[in-house]
Every structure is written in C-alpha cells, then in structure tokens.
Amino acid sequence: MDALSETLRVVHLVGAIFINARFSAPWCYQSPRADSVAPLLEPGAERLVIFHLITEGECFVELGPDAPVRLVAGDAVIFPQGHAHRMTSQPGLPPATGARLDTVLARRPRQLSYGGGGPITRLVCGYLACDTRLAELLLAGLPPLVRVNVRGSSAGAWLEASVRYALAEAKSPRPGGEGVLAKLAEVLFIEVLRLYMNEQAEGRTGWLAGLGDRIVGAALSALHRSPAQAWTLEELARTSGTSRSVLAERFQQLVGSSPMQYLTQWRMLLAANLLSRSNAPLARIAEDVGYQTDTAFSRAFRREFGAPPAAWRRSRAQRQPAS
C-alpha cells in the first residue's frame, strides 16, 4: 500500500455535503472560519476542512487580501487552514444576509437558491472532519487555498454525476441518501489531494510534495509500508536508491524533519489510532509500531502527546460520549 493510501486508512475522515446551491448573478456567499462552524457541522471534530465544488457556471473566491480566484465548472477548492472566505459572482460584492447559520444548517443538505436573476452558478459545499495531528501531517505545506479541476481526472465525470445523483436521493424518502453523500465527500476530498499532488509546481514543500518526489516518496512509502521495522538511515537510503546524505537533505527540505524523526512521529500517530479505536493491550500496540518494550514505547508516546499511553487512552474514552 502506498503512503497516501496508508495514511488515509489511518486518518479518521467524517464527511458531509451540507449545502446545494443555485445562485443567479449578482450574488455573494460568506463562508466563516471552519473552527467557528465546526460545532454546528460536526460536534466534537478536532479539525474541519471546508470544500466547494462548482458544478455549473463560474464564480470567484475571495480569501483575505489576496487577489480573487476565478472558478469554473469542475473546479473543486479546499481551504486546508480553515480560513473564512467569500464565494461571489463578481469580486467586491457584499455578502447576502439572511437566516442564522444554525437555522440554515438545521436540515442538510440545505437547498439554497437566490440572486439577482442573472447567469446561473451551481455549487455544493461540504466538509471533512479529521484528527488534528493526522490532518497536520496530511495537509502540511499546503497553501490557504487549493484548487483543482476534477474534470481533468478519470474520476471527475463519475464524481460529479454521483454527487448530483446523491443530492437528488437525499430529498427522496428512501433511506441512505445522506450516507452516500458522506462517502462522496470523502472521495472528492481524496481526489482533490491526488490531483493537487500530480500538479504541484517546483519549489513546494510539505508531505504531499515529499510523496511526489522520487527519492523522498520512496522513503515515505517504505516507512509507511513497514513502520515496525528497525530502520536505519543507511537501509532507508538503499531502499530509496540514493545516499544517506542526499536522502537526509532532501527529506528535511520537503517534509521538514529527518527520516528517523518522521518515523517516530508516524509510529506515534499509528499508536494513537490503535489506542483510541481498539482495546488492544499496550504491549501489543507497542510491538505493532516497532517498540520492543512497554517502557520505550511509553517514553516515546509521552514525549509526543504529553501523557503515557494508558492515561491518554482513558482521557480519549471519557471525551467520546460528549462528542
């Protein structure tokens, strides 16, 4: 399994499409910061990533002082750091005012239709909720706004058709429509990351940039494939087809840590996933992530999470009912 697939297997994604909009120009829609709407969209979520998919027409997205970005049908845009932004038919329009956000989101997906009667733009708004630490790994190095056109991928036509079908099903009396939309939100998010990784320009850094690099990508795949292996820098360099010095320099440049530091971080993320989602004994988890003794595992886990594994597991279990 490649590093992206393995990471997505570990990342606990919860997705949904919450707005299905038909806007006619002129129009402007304000999207608040992700952390401010997280309690309404996904109570208990540690991290929320908002996305929009343009299914018809065109519009602009405004993000802080940056120049507006034009979007066309097929464009998907995500906001990895959760910034507030505006979707608008033309730059500079004031956002519409209306019902309170909690009222709008009381029924999902919410059908929105408004505007001045001009050219039509259709879009869907969704989100992905995930664990904070795994999100930081997955989204590291990404700009505040990531845009790709899904119609350029083999899955694009299927994705758009499936979203339209699922939105129609969500209004029908047949059960399961919202569940289908949730899964499609996850698939769309993953496809955006895959497309962005393939389209990355020179000079970008971060985990996805590392995956796209021949040397660092090979090292990441090896570490994710066999995290419990007693890796050395020399052995990892040999697996990656390069020297120790080249691997260490390139890995640090793109990922922001040394290969061995990254391995420890990934092992701890795997351990946290096992602790929170299974009842496996600590000794078994320690062995699964590459530690021969409970003591060494507990020491490493405390350094990363600020508490020993057993105490961290209990605190997580106590918070789950509230979530």
Over the stretch 16-71, which tens digit does the pLDDT of each residue have? 888 889 999 999 999 999 999 888 888 888 889 999 999 999 999 999 898 999 99
84 and 169 together in one domain: yes
Do 217 and 165 share a structural domain? no
Give the total number of structural domains in the chain.
2
- Mean pLDDT in the chain? 88
79 lies in the same domain as 115: yes
Same domain for 16 and 152, yes or no, is yes
CATH value at residue 144: 2.60.120.10
Tell whether 123 is covered by a domain: yes
Together in a domain, 34 and 114: yes
Least confident of 119-128, 131-140, 215-224, 285-294: 131-140
Q: What's the CATH code of the domain at 246?
A: 1.10.10.60
* The model's pTM: 0.84
Q: Is the dihedral of CA 177, 183, 187, 193 positive or negative?
A: positive
In terms of Cβ atoms closer than 10 Å to its own Cβ (0-12, 13-18, 19+), residue 154 is exposed
My answer on whether 171 and 228 are in the same domain is no
- Parent domain of 281: 213-319
Buried b (16+ CB within 10 A) or exposed e, 275-303: beeeeeebeebbbbbbbeebeebbebbee
* pLDDT value of residue 289: 95
pLDDT band at 323 (very low <50, low <70, confident <90, very high): very low
Domain boundary among 170, 199, 228: 199
Q: What average pLDDT does range 98-102 have in this prediction?
A: 70
Q: Which residue, 199, 233, 249, sits at the end of a domain?
A: 199
Q: Is residue 208 domain-resident?
A: no
- 220 and 191 inside one domain: no
Task: Judge contact between 265 and 227, C-beta under 8 A.
Answer: no
pLDDT for res 218: 95
Mean pLDDT of 193-205: 78
Question: Does residue 204 belong to any structural domain of this protein?
Answer: no
Q: Is 206 a member of any domain?
A: no
So what's the pLDDT on residue 200?
A: 67
| For range 134-141, the mean pLDDT | 82
Q: Is residue 79 pLDDT above 90, yes or no?
A: yes
> What's the pLDDT at 168?
75
The arithmetic mean of pLDDT across residues 289-313, rounded, is 94
Q: What is the pLDDT of residue 178?
A: 73
What mean pLDDT do residues 250-265 have?
95
Pair (168, 219) in one structural domain: no
- Determine which of 58-67, 182-191, 305-314 has the lowest per-residue pLDDT on average: 182-191
pLDDT at 322: 43
**Domain endpoint, select from 199, 231, 259:** 199
Q: Does one domain contain both 131 and 217?
A: no
Looking at residue 212, what is its pLDDT? Answer: 87
pLDDT on residue 166: 78
Based on the fold, state whether residues 73 and 193 are members of the same structural domain. yes
Q: Is residue 253 part of a domain?
A: yes
- pLDDT at residue 249 tops 90: yes
Is 67 part of any domain? yes
In a domain, 207, yes or no: no
Kindly state whether residues 166 and 294 are assigned to the same domain.
Answer: no
**Are residues 170 and 219 both part of a single domain?**
no
- Residue 259: its pLDDT value, please? 97
d(CA 66, CA 257): 30
Structure tokens at 131: 């664990």
User: Is residue 86 in some structural domain?
Assistant: yes
> Cβ distance 288 to 255 under 8 Å?
no
For 210, the enclosing helix (H) or strand (E) is: helix 207-212
